[in-house]
């Protein structure tokens, strides 16, 4: 079992839920990355998803697109993010998950990318635009490393596809909660809960819900049916506005123990 899954399972065994915040590396300059990571670690997150800015972020909503554009304007690249993470390695105990589109990986070479992730102490990898059918070579390179392959399953995925994707999942299985891009949602509809329960039935690894989750209530509701949540846009916007206490409050609402309440 890889480090990321161990960390999540320990959180669950202790009666809590996993909380994984997403940040855009280099939003505000690459010099701010270490400070944000250490703040989130101190606030008690389970792991941290580090986004890589990209010019064509097809899965990202407005908040993350703007954050990526700000990072790109600072000259941030996949290569220099990994170099910065390597420099942070000695001060971070929380697992780091890199979220990147596939083109930046191709630009530096797949083998070189996996090697750089290993040197930087990366514990997981999410590539939203790499379909399962085309991921075999990269997944093979991750075998024998401590880097977990984290696939996504959508609301429209049939049972047989969820089972196929879940079989190769490591660390956690990412259950997408909306049909569309990231960004805050006021509501999800009651059908989401049966979908999350369905994903849980097929998954041999913990299941985390993500996309659109932005409030303490939503964090708790989604956590009732999964092993935790990934929160992106709300974290990115709060960092941009300097609202650190709101980030801390959101994290605590996710990791604390709470009673299961059926929301359907």
Residue 206 sits in a domain whose CATH number is 3.20.20.70
SS3 210: strand
Write out pLDDT tens, residues 168-202: 999 999 999 876 555 455 566 677 888 999 999 99
pLDDT computed for residue 184 by the predictor: 52
Catalytic position from the list 5, 60, 84, 221? 60
Q: Is residue 260 part of a domain?
A: no
Of the candidates 230, 251, 130, 250, the residue with the CA atom closest to the CA atom of residue 177: 230
- Write down the mean pLDDT value for the chain: 90
Catalytic position from the list 5, 27, 49, 227? 49
Q: Is residue 178 part of a domain?
A: yes
pLDDT computed for residue 256 by the predictor: 64
Q: Is residue 263 part of a domain?
A: no
Total domains in the fold of the chain: 1
Q: Is residue 261 part of a domain?
A: no
Domain hosting residue 144, numbered range: 3-255
> Helices (DSSP H) in the chain: which residue ranges?
3-13, 33-43, 62-73, 78-88, 102-108, 110-120, 136-142, 159-167, 191-202, 216-223, 233-241, 244-255
Write out pLDDT tens, residues 52-106: 999 888 777 788 999 999 999 999 999 999 999 999 988 999 999 999 999 999 9
CA dihedral 198, 199, 202, 206 (to 10 degrees): -130
Return the bridge partners of 174, or none.
Answer: 152, 208
Q: Is residue 245 part of a domain?
A: yes
Q: Is residue 264 part of a domain?
A: no
60 given a catalytic annotation: yes
Q: Is residue 22 part of a domain?
A: yes
pTM over 0.85: yes
Write out pLDDT tens, residues 245-262: 999 999 988 776 544 444
More confident residue, 215 or 4: 4
Q: Is residue 190 part of a domain?
A: yes
């Amino acid at each position: 079992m890889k480090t990321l899954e161990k960390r999540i399972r320990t959180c669950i065994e202790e009666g809590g839920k996993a909380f994984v915040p997403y940040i855009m590396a280099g939003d505000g300059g690459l010099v701010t990355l270490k400070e944000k990571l250490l703040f989130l670690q101190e606030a008690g997150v389970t792991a941290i998803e580090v986004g890589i800015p990209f010019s064509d972020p097809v899965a990202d909503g407005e908040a993350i697109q703007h954050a990526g554009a700000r990072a790109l304007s600072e000259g941030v690249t996949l290569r220099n993010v990994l170099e910065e993470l390597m420099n942070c390695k000695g001060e971070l105990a929380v697992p780091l998950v890199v979220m990147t589109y596939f083109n930046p990986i191709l630009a530096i070479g797949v083998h070189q990318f996996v090697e750089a992730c290993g040197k930087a102490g990366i514990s997981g990898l999410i590539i939203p635009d790499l379909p399962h059918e085309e991921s075999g070579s990269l997944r093979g390179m991750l075998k024998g490393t401590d880097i977990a392959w984290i696939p996504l399953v959508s609301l429209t995925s049939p049972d047989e596809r969820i089972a196929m994707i879940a079989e190769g999942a490591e660390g956690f299985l990412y259950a997408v909660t909306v049909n569309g891009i990231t960004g805050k949602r006021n509501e999800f509809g009651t059908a989401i809960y049966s979908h999350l329960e369905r994903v849980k039935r097929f998954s041999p690894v913990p299941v985390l819900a993500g996309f659109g989750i932005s409030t303490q209530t939503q964090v708790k509701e989604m956590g009732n049916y999964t092993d935790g949540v990934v929160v992106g846009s709300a974290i990115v916007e709060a960092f941009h506005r300097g609202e650190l206490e709101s980030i801390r409050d959101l994290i605590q609402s996710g990791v604390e123990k709470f009673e299961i309440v059926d929301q359907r």
